[in-house]
Amino acid sequence: MTSPLPPFDWDIFCTVVDNFGDIGVTWRLARQLEREGHGQVRLWVDDLASFARICPGLDPALDGQWVEGIHIQHWQGPLPADAIPASVVIEAFACELPAPFIERMAEQSPPPCWINLEYLSAEAWVEDCHGLASPQRVGRLSLNKYFFFPGFTPRTGGLLCEQGLVAERDRWQQDEAGLAAYWASLGLPPKAQDELRISLFTYESEALKSLVASWSQGATPVTLLLPMGRALSDVLCGAGLESAIGTARAGDLLQAGQLAIKLLPMTSQAGYDRLLWSCDLNLVRGEDSFVRAQWAARPFLWHIYQQEEEAHLVKLAHFLDHYLEALPAEDGQWLRELNLALNRGEDCSELWAQWPIHGTLWQQHARSWSQKLLREGDLVTRLVKFLESRI
């Protein structure tokens, strides 16, 4: 006979839409809440197989299990009859809670605080909608659902950043012996003085082919760290290595002119953070890797999932308005055009050729940007403060 589960302080529901983005954000949120002493967390996830690829301790065959102090529950079919809603219920990215669970929430006294954790956006309207309540009728009862928007300004919910992350990053980046050991663990020599090391975790894009071709044909040695995934074919085509597409495996080291391509397996979130911290430039996608690239204090390019009517380009433009504000006009314009070219699938070779002109200032800006983001507090700090007057 199994022991009954303890009462939970947090229920977080996540539907895995894009393999790693949604679950990446909610897993980081759950761990930060638990580690920083904000209470017991239960995480409901519909796709444990995808989740397990970034959480090696997870067994996809189990419906319920504890991992790193968090109870992970497979969310499929009817919920367990003894599932009592926690004090705070978070539906991540409007994933729609099960109707019976909402009924249980409404029947509790006092009812849980219901949070809809929205997608990250830099658009101006987010400030007006952040924290608003939406009354929900549940039979003869009612509940308030609050909208919580991550963002880049003091009037939003901020970004996920666990305590101690920045100090850990700085120690890592200043430890030359540790970095050499890290590269050796990937089967690479220490980074040469004139070499660039670039990580790439993006969607498919014709623009990648031109970037990769520029790296292979340029004067600067480049090592590309490429986790196995959707961009593999475009990268190998750009390098003139089409014949390797069908046989490429994690661990391979491929050479094309000045470009070395190191293929990496999927890793844990902590492992991905260390990769971002170690590289000179990071190409990232979605939301989770996008945020972690900003905490890496390194230059990065953001590849957004393409949306109808090019809505993704609007999101990119609003973010760049914030990100480029402190840069001189010429540097900011170059970086805006490079981000747009990547997201439009355009030839990036002429823009990349200007890296030697703008790269040093971009590196300085990346560090000051990460410092600016934390001045008003991280997402969990702001979320707990938001809840204090509502529970």
pLDDT, tens only, 130-168: 999 999 998 888 899 999 999 999 999 999 999 999 999
* Paired sense of beta strands 10-14 and 196-200, if any: unpaired
In terms of phi and psi (left: phi > 0; alpha: psi -120 to 50; beta: otherwise), the region of 37 is left
Asked if residue 325 lies in contact with residue 301, where contact means CB atoms within 8 angstroms, the answer is no
- Beta-strand (E) ranges in the chain? 10-14, 41-45, 64-67, 70-74, 88-92, 113-117, 133-138, 141-148, 196-200, 222-227, 253-256, 259-264, 281-285, 300-303
Q: Is 11 a catalytic residue?
A: no
Identify the pLDDT of residue 19. Answer: 57
Name the burial class of residue 181, with classes exposed (0-12), middle (13-18) and buried (19+) by CB atoms within 10 angstroms of its CB: exposed
Asked if residue 165 lies in contact with residue 295, where contact means CB atoms within 8 angstroms, the answer is yes
Identify the pLDDT of residue 60. Answer: 96
- CA–CA dist 96, 101 (Å, integer): 11
User: C-alpha angle 172/178/184, rounded to 5°?
Assistant: 125
User: The whole model's pTM is what?
Assistant: 0.93
Ranges in the chain, pLDDT < 70: 1-6, 18-19, 391
Asked if residue 51 lies in contact with residue 128, where contact means CB atoms within 8 angstroms, the answer is no
Selecting among 11, 22, 118, 378, the annotated active-site residue is 22
Core vs surface per residue 46-57: b (16+ CB within 10 A) or e: bbbebbbbbbee
- CA–CA dist 213, 15 (Å, integer): 37
Selecting among 91, 273, 287, 331, the annotated active-site residue is 287
Q: Is 46 a catalytic residue?
A: no
Identify the pLDDT of residue 140. Answer: 83
Identify the pLDDT of residue 1. Answer: 39
Q: Would you state the structure tokens that stand for residue 11, as one six-digit string?
A: 């229920």
The DSSP line for 238-306 is HTT-GGGTTT--TT-EEEETTEEEEEE----HHHHHHHHHH-SEEEEETTHHHHHHHHTTS-EEEEPPP
pLDDT tens digits for range 306-319: 777 778 899 999 99
